[in-house]
């Protein structure tokens, strides 16, 4: 795995910044290697949370509350509107300063876009270059949908 370069929040008298993190997934459960995919998403998501905290930010991770540590029904990433509504409410309640969207395997780009429309914060799409999982595809399709729909 490629190490992640982090930048620490500068020391100041201001409160620590809250950074939200969410990781999406393919809604199909019948695909091969679904459990391995979800474990990869969960493990990578949790590593990013640690990096956010190590950099001095407060990580807001409603997915941890929603999903816990178990992969249930071949799914850990966010792929349903009801899950998205819960996560969005938590981000609003916590008043996040920014959002990181984990694109670690293919996901439908409409859910990240719906979330982005509801939150008024800077958003970073993040993937890990891993040839076993199509994270670059998720990042590209999600980013392209943001770009296309932002010009409408």
Tell me the pLDDT tens digit for each residue of 58-102.
999 999 999 888 887 778 999 999 999 999 999 999 999 999 999
Q: Which two tokens stand for residue 148?
A: 């296309």
Residues with Cβ < 8 Å from 69, sequence gap 6 or more? 42
Cβ pair 57, 18 in contact under 8 A: yes
**Local confidence band at 39 (pLDDT 50, 70, 90 cut-offs):** very high
pLDDT at 12 over 70: no
Q: What is the pLDDT of residue 8?
A: 61
Report how far residue 45's alpha carbon sits from residue 22's, in angstroms, rounded to the nearest whole number.
8
What's the confidence (pLDDT) of residue 49?
A: 96
Query: What mean pLDDT, rounded, does the chain reach?
Result: 86
User: What's the pLDDT band for 3 if we cut at 50, 70, 90?
Assistant: low
Quote the CA–CA distance of 125 and 117 in Å, as a whole number: 15
Residues 6+ apart with CB under 8 A from 61: 20, 21, 45, 49
For position 151, what pLDDT does the model report? 66
Residue 30 has pLDDT above 80, yes or no: no
| SS3 annotation, the chain | CCCCCCCCCCCCCCCCCEEEEEEECCCCCCCCCHHHHHHHHHHHHHHHHHHHHHCCCEEECHHHHHHCCCCECCECCECCHHHHHHHHHHHHHHCCCEEEEECCCCCCCHHHHHHHHHCCCCEEEECCCCCCCCHHHHHHHHHHHHHHHHCC
């Amino acid at each position: 795995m490629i190490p992640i370069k982090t930048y620490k929040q500068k020391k100041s008298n201001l409160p620590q910044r809250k950074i939200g993190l969410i990781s999406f997934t393919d809604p199909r459960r019948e695909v091969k290697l679904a459990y391995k995919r979800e474990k990869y998403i969960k493990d990578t998501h949790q590593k990013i949370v640690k990096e956010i905290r190590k950099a001095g930010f407060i990580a807001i991770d409603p997915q941890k509350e929603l999903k816990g540590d178990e992969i249930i029904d071949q799914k850990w990433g966010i792929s349903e509107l009801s899950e998205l509504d819960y996560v969005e409410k938590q981000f609003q309640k916590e008043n996040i300063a920014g959002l990181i969207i984990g694109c670690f395997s293919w996901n439908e780009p409409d859910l990240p876009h719906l979330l982005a429309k509801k939150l008024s914060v800077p958003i970073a799409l993040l993937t890990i270059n891993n040839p076993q999982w199509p994270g670059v595809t998720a990042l590209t399709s999600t980013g392209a949908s943001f770009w296309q729909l932002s010009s409408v």
